[in-house]
Structure 1
Amino acid sequence: MSLSESMRRVLPYIRGMLIGSTGRPVRLVPVVDPPGVPFEIDLSEMGEITEERVLHLLSTVAEEWRDERSGSRFLLVRLREEERCFRVEGRGGGPGRGEPGSPYEGLSTKGREDVVRGRVAVVTGGAQGFGEQIVRGLCASGAYVCIADLNAEGAERLADEINAEAGEPVAWAVQVNVADEGSVEGLFARIVEEAGGLDLCVSNAGVLRAGSVLSQSSEDFRFVTEVNYVAFFLVTKHAARIMRAQHLLAPRWYTDIVQINSKSGLAGSNKNGAYAGSKFGGIGLVQSFALELVEYHIKVNAICPGNFFDGPLWSDPEKGLFVQYLRAGKVPGARTVDDVRRYYESKIPMGRGCTGPDVMRALYYIVEQEYETGQALPVAGGQVMLH
């Protein structure tokens, strides 16, 4: 259901008002022919939509909303050129999800999942790898999640699978090219249309093209930089605009922007300068954005995982790094893919690669911890340590 530009502009403010009045995250879902409308906001005489005008009009109805929290929760919003009704919904957790033996084992930390329950989240690069693990973990913990990926088919497939398992629509897919600002702007417009606002943005999309500084093409170097560095700026820019609007009517509410960085953002990587450089730069952006956005209770942090050996980057049977390194003879004496894997695992003090649950525990911590911003949190089994 497509909304006008005006409606998309005011919805984050309205969602902020609801959060500020109730202290709980909500999702605003467009509906047709609701059974009843217990609450309405009439902005039809607002004239030109300015931030000051919206804030003034919504501040006059916050008290009324406090008296309308019982029964069916629907909200009618009237603008001069449009009238739309939204179902105001929160989300509970499904029984047994995240428990041992379930598909979500380890992805939902029992007792801590409430930190994201009911929140609206987006994960870029969410159709595969760490992104898929994060999407599954957030949904298992009660969040509504937009799966944003260039791979539209994979994102749709994952959303369908999660929604079938949940028995309710908790995930939706949007195709996006994170290196293109128009595409990124369209992504966040869709998020507002689907949920009214945003609480958690996980900037996970990234690429790796290794190569020596003596031979790597400038095209490859720029491509890695555009996706890993510039795209984080674009994603933060448009996510933070929504979060800031919410904050103006929910001043006690914290939101989060989290970059999935890398251990290569904390230590150089041989013949992988484009990737490491883009990740080092990402941490500089994290720290700078954190200083600027803290005024709006937007926390900006990075998670720096070690190698995800079970993901497609490493384990793809045709193009994965294990196969490439075996064929290239990069590991002396290695005869099989398993030999190559054991070699790289031996470089990690904890003896294994990073997993989805490892990253999810770090993500829950970052969201839960209100007194932390501008940080780069290593999740690398001791292979990289802060100093």
Structure 2
Amino acid sequence: PGDQIRDPYPRVILIPGLGMINTGADAQAADVSSQLYHRAISVAGGSQALSSFVSLTEQEAFDVEYWPLELYKLSLKPPPKEMEGRVALVTGGASGIGRAIAQRLAQDGAHVAILDINLEGAQQVAEGLIQKYGHKRAMALHCNVTDEAAVQEAFRQVTLTYGGVDVVVSNAGIAFAAPIEETTLSDWNRTMSILGTGYFLISRAAVDLWKKQNMGGSLVYIASKNSVFAGRNAAAYSAVKAAELHMARCLAEEGGAFGIRVNAVLPDAVLQGSGIWEGGWREARAASYGIKPEELDDYYRKRTTLRVNVYPEDIAEAVSFFAGPRAAKTTGGAMTVDGGVAGAYLR
């Protein structure tokens, strides 16, 4: 009497003809329950040599689980983190903004699946998270987001590993800048494929899974200031970023009845550690402003209302908000993280 009931959910589920499913507060705890039950199977089998295996009675099991010293030990555990027990999938997670997002969601308590076309980079990020937050807290998968089969397989692998997905951050992308007359059809198609088709395929897989799980979900797009800002020499990039933002709003309407939230973060000029600034993008943007490439950081800082540079961690902070319970009643939203660019103010 007076005891608060502990988590009543089973830790071992045996399915005849299929096998064993283990659950836990996190992947490491589920793995421990698997190891312990395999040992219990061994003990039960060995007992047959002497007599027969007899399990604890319900009263004995209760006395062990609700032993005062055990309850006291459990009371010393720190409170659960905001994203504890949730699984997040981040595309383009090997570098820059994606890496910062993966790190922040893991810090918030989530298990994180890092998808990237750069598998080695994704593995390095995952290994760092495992070292910091524990066994099985992260996994890395090679995924080309424009490949339908690859996207479906990635979601399958994450579901098999963690039991499902709760949060998806669509971030994988490229940048392209050129005057319209210098933009080739190949340039246009590549930009649309990665930033348009890639976001579509990831979104479709996420929504399909969430409807089957029937537990809701949170989809966060990493769009851009260019989603709402008309600028020179980036028609292909800006057009598809605008399409991303509108697709997020449309999916918010589609998913609302299923508890699926869809929101977008609109960054600008995140130079630090970002792969999109490779391959001439920095030089092209600097040329469009009539400055040297090495002057770009200072140029972007000075043009903002707050006179600040924007870093990957700033974007990750916004994603953390949209992904978790603090934004439980927010969908179809867009948050600018750009230091203040008057032409991109939402209205």
Consecutive unaligned residues of structure 1, counting only runs of 5 or more, are 1-66, 93-110
The answer on whether the counterparts of 2:261 and 2:330 sit within 8 Å (CA) in structure 1 is yes
The answer on whether the counterparts of 1:74 and 1:88 sit within 8 Å (CA) in structure 2 is no
Return the offset for 1:201: 0.3
Return the offset for 1:115: 3.0
For residues 232-281 of structure 1, what are the alpha-carbon distances to aligned partners after superposition, in whole Å with 9 as ceiling and x for unaligned? 1111111112211222xx4xxx4201111011111123111111111100
Q: 1:347 to 1:218 in 2, by over 3 A?
A: same
Q: Does 1:232 align with 2:232?
A: no
The whole-number CA distance in structure 1 between the counterparts of 2:128 and 2:235 is 37
Paired residue type of 1:143: A
Cα-Cα RMSD: 2.6
Task: Report what 2:308 is aligned to.
Answer: 352
Task: Report what 1:300 is aligned to.
Answer: 262
The answer on whether the counterparts of 1:75 and 1:85 sit within 8 Å (CA) in structure 2 is yes
Mapping 1:167-316, distance limit 5 Å: 167-247=134-214, 250=215, 254-313=216-275
Return the offset for 1:308: 0.6
Q: For this pair of structures, how many residues does the alignment match?
A: 290
The whole-number CA distance in structure 2 between the counterparts of 1:187 and 1:91 is 18
Task: Report what 1:341 is aligned to.
Answer: 297
The whole-number CA distance in structure 2 between the counterparts of 1:352 and 1:320 is 24
Paired residue type of 2:270: F
Return the offset for 1:344: 2.2
Consecutive unaligned residues of structure 2, counting only runs of 5 or more, are 29-77
Task: Report what 1:76 is aligned to.
Answer: 14
Task: Report what 1:373 is aligned to.
Answer: 331
Task: Report what 2:75 is aligned to.
Answer: none
* Range with bigger deviation, 160-169 or 127-136: 160-169
Paired residue type of 2:245: I
For residues 292-323 of structure 1, what are the alpha-carbon distances to aligned partners after superposition, in whole Å with 9 as ceiling and x for unaligned? 1111100011111111121334766xx46445
The answer on whether the counterparts of 2:97 and 2:316 sit within 8 Å (CA) in structure 1 is no
The whole-number CA distance in structure 1 between the counterparts of 2:221 and 2:90 is 10
Paired residue type of 1:362: A
Q: Does 1:385 align with 2:345?
A: yes
The whole-number CA distance in structure 1 between the counterparts of 2:79 and 2:309 is 24
For residues 85-124 of structure 1, what are the alpha-carbon distances to aligned partners after superposition, in whole Å with 9 as ceiling and x for unaligned? 32333389xxxxxxxxxxxxxxxxxx99933222100000
The answer on whether the counterparts of 1:113 and 1:141 sit within 8 Å (CA) in structure 2 is no
Return the offset for 1:205: 0.5
SS across alignment from 2:81: helix
SS across alignment from 2:264: strand
In terms of fraction of residues, the more helix-rich structure is: 2
* Range with bigger deviation, 179-188 or 113-122: 113-122
Q: 1:310 to 1:113 in 2, by over 3 A?
A: farther
**TM-score, structure 1 length as denominator?**
0.69
For residues 318-364 of structure 1, what are the alpha-carbon distances to aligned partners after superposition, in whole Å with 9 as ceiling and x for unaligned? x46445666x58534x4x71x33212221111222222332233223
The whole-number CA distance in structure 2 between the counterparts of 1:123 and 1:152 is 13
Return the offset for 1:72: 7.7
Q: 1:277 to 1:308 in 2, by over 3 A?
A: same
